[in-house]
A and B are shown apart, each in its own frame.
Chain A
Amino acid sequence: MNSSISFIVPEIILCTGATALLIAGAIGSRRRLLNIIAVMTVAISFFSMFAVPGNIHSVFSGMLINDAFSYVLRVFVLVVAMLSVLMSIGYTWPQEEDAGEYYFFILLATVSMMFAVSAGNMIMIYLSIEALSIISYILACYFKKDVLSTEAGVKYFLFGTLSTGLMLYGISLVYGLTGTLDLEKILIQLKVLEGYAPVLGLAAILIFAGFAFKASIVPFHVWVADVYNGAPWPVAAFFSIGPKAVGFALLIKVFFGYSLFLSSIWTGIAVILAVATMFVGNLSAFHQDNVKRLLAFSSVAQAGYIFAGLAMGLSGLKAAFFYIIIYTFMNMGAFACVSYLASDLSDIKALRGISRTSPAGAFILSVFLLSLAGLPPLAGFWAKFFILCSIIDARHYFLAGILVFNSCVAFFYYLKIVRTMYFDEPLSTVVSRKTSYSTLIVLASCCLMVIEAGIFPRILLDFLGLLFH
């Protein structure tokens, strides 16, 4: 039990911090204090990750698993949380908001994500997904006086509860089939159950729907654009990286680690869905003039690339992982940068001629966008490259062709933003931007990461290599 507790120390720290923030917010502390508490909490939690004992395999009687996968992902989730918190600090909130509660939710969402990625039991998976969802609904409509934000929250809620409900039904079927919800025991049982593929398939599909909803894979992606659009910028940025990464982590964990899906049809289904995701994401983004929606659809398309890698089985796993990590940084950077440059407007016109007024900002945003598009030698290129490698290695030439076509389409709309920044004349109205250190830190770290991983992808690859050893 002691070791169990020591395992979840980072989560406990987060919970403590969250509670402290809730209280501090309630007693009306100053904004700056809340910011500091939030950052400190995440930082302490991050450092406490080093103290997590490595010798135990599972804690809380199998509820959580302590392996390289979960360890890396928990660290990763904390990084995401840190970026989100920093971006939230730098963000100019347009209306009065409850900052204490806001950080409370962000930290609790982080806790849920950490539980999700280290879960060893279907119960934990369900609960953490549900917790993450509930918090997300609240965060999405955090501008409660804003119609768009509220609508986003409601839509997210309506879509999300159905997904998690269906997932729950799938889990119940798994329970019926195997008599257990422990992932490792399920794995053992599955071998016995080979004759009952259809029921298992039904369960798998329902569970898959729940994960795919988080990972925004077609046709479970429809909420993405509307929710990102309505949600506040930092929240949208958070959604685009945190829950999505968790969705993919769970897909990997459940469908690879425990091969819930029978591999014979997994590839087929996954390829079809990946293709659909790429097409729908890219083509929907094609005409967008709303940068936030554009980025939302682009994140759908990016999910498609990642999923295409996953469809290739184990060979694509590392590529997909690489992609997720890179994607997090470039997408976060893009969101943070647009939100900073466009001063909270999401129309593309707000970015007109920004290269004259803010050359560095325009440059950094271009880096993120081109990296998202996959231009070498930025990190996004390597991400796509490894995905393509795995696809071609598996001889899915057609899929590779489609991916490449989609990249072309994607180039169009990413470049459209870049074009607006560089080719157009600036707007006559001078916008004043508040540049805070936290924004700078977010932008700089993401930009560095994107460029560094572009020039020396080896470092990240070696790191991932440890994971898959």
Chain B
Amino acid sequence: MPNLLTIIIFFPLLGGLLISLIPRRNESIIRLTAVLFNVMTLGVVGVLCTLFDRTSSAVQFLESVPWIPDIGINYIVGVDGISLGLVFLTALLGLLAALATTSITKSVKEYFILYQILMTGMLGTFLALDLVLFYIFWETVLIPMFFLIGIWGGQRREYAAWKFFFYTLAGSFVMLLAIIAIYFLVTPHTFNMLEITSLAPHLNNNFQCVLFLMFFLSFAVKIPVFPFHTWLPDAHVEAPTPVSVILAGVLLKMGAYGLLRICVPYFPYALDYFAFSLGVLGAVNLIYGACAAFVQTDFKKMIAYSSVSHMGFVLLGVAAMNSTGLNGSLLEMFNHGIITGGMFLLVGVLYDRAHTREMTAFGGLSSTMPRYAFFLTIMALASFGLPGLSGFVGEFLSIAGIYFTFPWLAALSSIGLIMVVALFLTIIRKVLWGRPQSAVHWPDMGFDEMILLCPLVLITLGVGFYPEIILQFQRQAINLLVRMS
């Protein structure tokens, strides 16, 4: 399989093209095609995982084709321990989100075409190893997302779509400048991310700092880091369920991935210089997100803000600059994708029944919808990092990592740990406990809904019990990263 990665990247797009040929009245065929293509993508990613050599820190399945030789832009894709987990996450959530589209009834064809483009963009972002290619995939995600929120979203969809779009656009333009700047600053000029890894650290300190900040700004919007996070609650809340899943599960990871892929290895001096600030931002994210979530009345918004909080762990892990922290950071990304993806699916399940997301409308679901209660409880517990579930491992590693570097920050973030617990217990209390608020009896989760959540729950439990499942893939790459930074 020489072109495995190219297949993975462009397979969804192929699906999109195919869908565009199907007449729009054949909705079920369109859905089926989309699901089929996502299943196959996941299959190919599965093959990738099995073929992946986990004892090596090198980039594997490297493909390199000259694209614009004039200025050295190449089509380079490759996968290493950092990206593999995220690719798997993308493919998995992509499939689940494609399945969870029963609530999408308007313009199904367009929806799936855009969705498939989105998939290509996301997979490409994680696999691209040329800065320009990376940027292109990064941007490719924007427009489908804009439409997916803007057309299929909730009440304030347009506001949310614009906000999302411009926040990220501004960020990514800054990144574009940084990409071009780095090209001209390194000698020989190159966009090859692997080559820059060895060239960029030799830049002088000021350049490193400025470029670091520029890249960071772009990633910060996507992650999102306080104070660039306000697009997230709006976008997540207004987006339809499957899009929220993708948004929270994958899109946020793009930023964090960029941080690991670009900021950390390229600018060791700057990373060192800004590590503390980064850590402070992480802690602020953690606490701020949890607090802001705590007082929301909208269920989805609470989950959205909790994402802000969780991404704080990712930042903390990066700020730690040691293998523990980075491992934790990367693992937390994966876990957060799984958990929050599940959370949004669960919110969607409820929304489909209640047609509202106000917390006051819920309550007592533990008695009326026991299966729902089971899934929500597990996801909530995993979210606040109950040991034995996946969330804990990532959080613990991140906190441990940051403790090794900045003990006081770890102490500060531990406040966040408590707040996150308060947040999720409150969610459980308000949604699951108490007396049912609604006179209408909502049916419990059906088979079709449970089948979506089962893999997520299994992964949550599996990673929680035995984190090596994921860690073994990323360890070597992280070690290399630590050696470089």
Contact = CB atoms under 8 A, between A and B. Distances in A.
Task: Please say whether chains A and B are actual partners in one complex.
Answer: yes
Interface in A376-396: 376-377, 381, 385-386, 388-389, 392-393
Interface string A402-425: 001101100110010001001100
A408 B166 contact: yes
Contacts of B422: none
A75 to B, nearest CB: 21
Contacts, number: 67
A397 interface: yes
Nearest to B189: A393
Describe B's contact surface by its main secondary structure: helix
A389 B173 contact: no
B158 A404 contact: no
Interface in A448-469: 457-458, 461, 465
B452 interface: no
Interface in B125-179: 132, 135-136, 139-140, 142-143, 146-147, 150-151, 158, 165-166, 169-170, 173-174, 176-177
A125 B434 CA distance: 85
A401 B158 contact: no
Contacts of A408: 166, 169-170, 173
B151 A423 contact: yes
A422 B147 contact: yes
A250 B286 CA distance: 58
A456 to B, nearest CB: 8
B68 A461 contact: yes
A388 B67 contact: no
A52 interface: no
Nearest to A392: B180
A381 B138 CA distance: 13
A458 B67 contact: yes
Contacts of A392: 177, 180-181, 184
Which of A376, A385, A405: most chain B CB closer than 10 A? A376
Given A397-B181, A423-B158, A461-B68, A375 B139 contact: yes
A152 B67 CA distance: 45
Given A415-B146, A457-B68, A377 B140 contact: yes
Given A393-B184, A397-B181, A385 B139 contact: no
B136 A465 contact: no
A389 B73 CA distance: 12
A465 B68 CA distance: 12
Contact of B183 (A389, A400, A423, A458): A389
B70 interface: yes
B160 to A, nearest CB: 12
Contacts of B146: 415
B71 A389 contact: yes
A370 interface: yes
Contacts of B68: 457-458, 461
B297 to A, nearest CB: 27
B69 interface: yes
Q: Closest 4 A-B residue pairs measured CB to CB?
A: A376-B136, A404-B173, A392-B180, A376-B139
22 contacts: A359-B110, A375-B143, A377-B140, A381-B136, A385-B132, A385-B176, A385-B180, A386-B71, A388-B176, A389-B180, A392-B177, A400-B177, A404-B173, A404-B174, A408-B166, A408-B173, A411-B166, A415-B146, A415-B165, A422-B147, A422-B151, A457-B68
Interface of B: 67-71, 110, 132, 135-136, 139-140, 142-143, 146-147, 150-151, 158, 165-166, 169-170, 173-174, 176-177, 180-181, 183-184
